[in-house]
């Protein structure tokens, strides 16, 4: 039997290669991210609303909805020509497919975030270089939580006729806890609040990561049964 990590990395590398070659989801996600950041920027009256009041919400609306475009695509790839059957016929742990998809999705969302974050800083003219490591940590923690749930739900809805529609409907309720935590933390970080102010939300976000990843890992096999 192929080792767990070799299989997971093969699946992730394959997904990234296909996305690199087609760039369909990536282009959509980046265009969407730029559009949302621009809309939030131009909708704000700078004399009435401070940038810091709107920036955390704008950032997380951008990240979560842009990410959804990639999450949707993750298992649609496997629906094409029923490639998922090929994965299931291979002598690998089904959970290795989940981990591979999770890694591929994290890479996709990570790149979208890496492109969007400088634009966000630029649009809101935020002098946050000192707080940047903390902000990146929060982004990474929240991303792991919602990408884990998104990957699982993507595998659940892929056999339905309206997979693209179903994913956001099912995913959004699960996004509320980590995204609320991420918005709270982002707001505090951008306001340059002390580290002690962040500890509670960071622990909560960390807990979501552990719970979501473990739950999704063990539930994944059940989503494969026809």
Partner 1 sequence: MSGSNATLLAREVSRKFGHRHVVRDVSFEVRGGEFVLLVGHNGAGKTTLIRVLAGLLKPSKGTVTHTGDIGMVAHSSMLYDALTARENLAFYARLHDKNSPELVASLLEQMELAPHGDRRVGTFSRGMVQRLSIARALLPDPEVLLLDEPLTGLDDAASRIVRGVLTDLQQRERAVVVATHQLAELVDLASSVGFLVRGRLEAIEQIAGRSADEVMARYRELASND
Residues that bind partner 1 (CB under 8 A): 1-3, 6-7, 10, 14, 17-18, 21-22, 77, 80-83, 85-92, 225-226
Cβ count within 10 A of residue 131: 18
Burial of 99 (0-12, 13-18, 19+ CB in 10 A): buried
Q: C-beta of 108: minimal distance to partner 1 in Å?
A: 15
Kindly tell me which of 85 and 192 has the beta carbon lying closer to partner 1: 85
Instruction: Tell me the angle at which helices 163-190 and 51-79 cross, rounded to the nearest 10 degrees.
Output: 150
**Do residues 55 and 128 lie in contact, with contact meaning Cβ atoms separated by under 8 Å?**
no
Report H helices in 80-190. Answer: 83-89, 94-124, 132-157, 163-190
For the bound state, the minimum distance from the C-beta of residue 103 to partner 1, rounded and expressed in Å, comes to 15
What does the angle CA 178 – CA 183 – CA 187 come to, to the nearest 5 degrees?
150
Identify which of residues 100 and 168 has a Cβ nearer to partner 1 in the complex.
100
Query: How many other C-beta atoms are found inside a 10 Å radius of the C-beta of residue 57?
Result: 14
* Rg, Å, the chain Cα set: 18
From the CB of 150, what's the least distance to partner 1, in Å?
21
Spatial separation of the C-alpha atoms in residues 91 and 59, rounded to whole Å: 42
CB of 224 to partner 1, least distance (A): 9
Nearer to partner 1, 21 or 161 (CB): 21
Q: By C-beta, is 72 or 186 nearer to partner 1?
A: 72
Q: Closest CB to partner 1 among 27 and 43?
A: 27
Q: How far apart are CA 201 and CA 26, in angstroms?
A: 30
Q: How far is the CB of 111 from partner 1 (least distance, A)?
A: 18
Instruction: Please give the Cα distance from 221 to 97 (Å, whole number).
Output: 9
Measured from the CB atom, is 16 or 172 closer to partner 1? 16
Tell me how far, at minimum, the Cβ of 5 lies from partner 1, in Å: 12
């Amino acid at each position: 039997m192929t080792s767990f990590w070799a299989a997971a990395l093969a699946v992730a590398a394959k997904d990234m290669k296909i996305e690199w070659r087609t760039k369909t989801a990536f282009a959509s996600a980046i265009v969407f991210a730029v559009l949302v950041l621009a809309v939030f920027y131009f909708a704000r009256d700078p004399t009435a609303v401070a940038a810091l009041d709107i920036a955390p919400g704008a950032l997380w609306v951008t990240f979560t909805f842009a990410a959804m475009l990639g999450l949707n695509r993750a298992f649609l790839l496997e629906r094409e020509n029923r490639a998922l059957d090929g994965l299931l016929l291979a002598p690998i742990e089904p959970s290795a497919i989940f981990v591979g998809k999770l890694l591929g999705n994290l890479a996709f969302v990570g790149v979208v975030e890496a492109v969007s974050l400088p634009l966000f800083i630029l649009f809101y003219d935020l002098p946050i270089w000192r707080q940047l490591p903390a902000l990146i940590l929060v982004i990474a923690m929240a991303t792991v939580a919602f990408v884990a749930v998104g990957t699982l739900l993507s595998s659940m809805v892929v056999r339905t006729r309206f997979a693209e529609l179903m994913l956001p409907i099912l995913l959004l309720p699960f996004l509320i806890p980590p995204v609320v935590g991420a918005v709270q933390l982002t707001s505090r970080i951008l306001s340059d609040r002390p580290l002690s102010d962040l500890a509670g939300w960071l622990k909560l976000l960390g807990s979501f990561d552990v719970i979501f990843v473990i739950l999704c890992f063990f539930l994944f096999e059940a989503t494969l049964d026809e």
